[in-house]
Amino acid sequence: MKGNKTIFLSPPSVGARERAAVKRAFDSGYVAPCGPQVDEFERRLAELAGRKYAVAVSSGTAAIDLLMEELGVDSSWTVVAPTLTFIATVGPAWHRGARLVFVDCDETGNIDPNLLDEALGSIRVKLGSDRVLRPKIALTITGPKSTLKDPTQTLSDPKILVIGVDLYGACCDYKALTAICRRHSAKLIIDSAEAVGATRDGRPAGSAGLAAVYSFNGNKIVTTSGGGAIVTDDRALAERAKKRAQQSRERCTWYEHREVGYNYRLSNILAAIGIAQLDRLPQILRRRKANFAWYARHFEGDVMVPGECANHWMTVGLLRSRRERDALLARFAKAGIEARPVWKPMHLQPVFAGCRVFGGEVAEALFDRGVCLPSGTDLTPADRRRIASVLPSRS
């Protein structure tokens, strides 16, 4: 439609508050990946997640990568994740040579706990027969004792990591996943990249597992343009991750390194944007929820119902077939409106062709039939009218 601006899928909602916050950070002199805004942002994130510690980094992917490093994930590990997710959930484990196993979702789009139970049972039987579980070199721990690299734990336990994902802003079943992982001696972390501000059974997104990660990418519910965080109750993990994110520099006047780290810390300027966004989080959540309610009224097919306490980062409409999905996407494109298919399941990705998958049909059906609908915080009535003219009508 000529003359109309593109309506994006999930553009950042930023304005005067964020601009003023950036100016304040700039004027503070901390134009660097450290400073008072980073410290405050971390305090606020820990509070939001109901965790003791937060470590702010340059992206959600960097946060996951740091967690892989903390856990010591390498080619002797099996990493189990939902097949319906974004590749960043498993990319860092793949880079470290871990064996990836994918598990189907249920109709909510989140990992199916029963299938996860089955997958872990089957993996444990296999690992039990391999018996290559003992690290050859004892792990050295410096600083406070961590729940992750406790040698008494890793010496006898299979190296299995489950990464739960809070898909499209709806928390996965933390209670079920925690119990299942405990039963199978698997470690659990949560990829809450899309779920900032959501809750499940009264618990905030990011509050389960050894640690969880958030993303503050430009398309996320809270943005810093690009950024991420680890949230955890494990002090040792938080301290080590923070150090590793700063090239693992030792505390002394010269540059001393006992290990090689990364440059993953979040910029102080970007943290300032994040603080301004957190101040507005209740308003952002209200508007995203209103989008969902609007689609539920106006979309002819079904919309995926993510539960009461999702953050409604993304509203997903379900068509009857892949053909209908593609027809709707074509109408959106013609009207200058961005919409996308649901994540293509990981087990269908050429790069993961050799990986095992438990189930897969539910995720495939969601991919075939699902459309991520424009879900921006600042959708206007005029935007909605344009979207409505493209949607399959209820009448």
Ligand X SMILES: Cc1ncc(COP(=O)(O)O)c(C=O)c1O
Interaction pattern, residues 50-69, with ligand X; x per rule: CB under 6 A: ---------xxx--------
- Closest residue to ligand X, judged by C-beta, is 60
Least distance CB 185 / ligand X (angstroms): 25
Among 172, 193, 355, 362, binds ligand X (CB under 6 A): 193
Q: Applying CB under 6 A, which of residues 54, 165, 355, 390 lies at the interface with ligand X?
A: 165
Identify which of residues 42 and 194 has a Cβ nearer to ligand X in the complex: 194
Going by C-alpha positions, the residue among 17, 58, 5, 103 that lies closest to residue 345 is 103
Task: Kindly state whether residue 191 participates in binding ligand X, applying the rule CB under 6 A.
Answer: yes
Q: Which is nearer to ligand X, 60 or 317 (CB)?
A: 60
Cα torsion through 175, 177, 179, 185, rounded to 10: -150
Q: Is 228 in the site for ligand X (CB under 6 A)?
A: yes
Q: Are 120 and 356 in contact (CB under 8 A)?
A: no
The rounded distance, in Å, linking the Cα atoms of 151 and 47 is 30
For residues 235 and 52, the answer to whether their CB atoms sit within 8 Å is yes
Q: Which is nearer to ligand X, 60 or 306 (CB)?
A: 60
110 binds ligand X (CB under 6 A): no
Nearer to ligand X, 165 or 276 (CB): 165
Please report the DSSP string for 60-94 in residue order: HHHHHHHHHHHHT--TT-EEEEESSS-GGGTHHHH
According to CB under 6 A, which residues from 80 to 109 bind ligand X?
Answer: 85-86, 88-89
- Write out the two tokens for 75: 């080619």
- Contact in structure between 383 and 374 (CB atoms under 8 Å): yes
Q: How far is the CB of 192 from ligand X (least distance, A)?
A: 8
Token reading at 155: 């010496």
Give me the residues that bind ligand X (CB under 6 A), please: 59-61, 85-86, 88-89, 165, 191, 193-194, 215, 217, 228
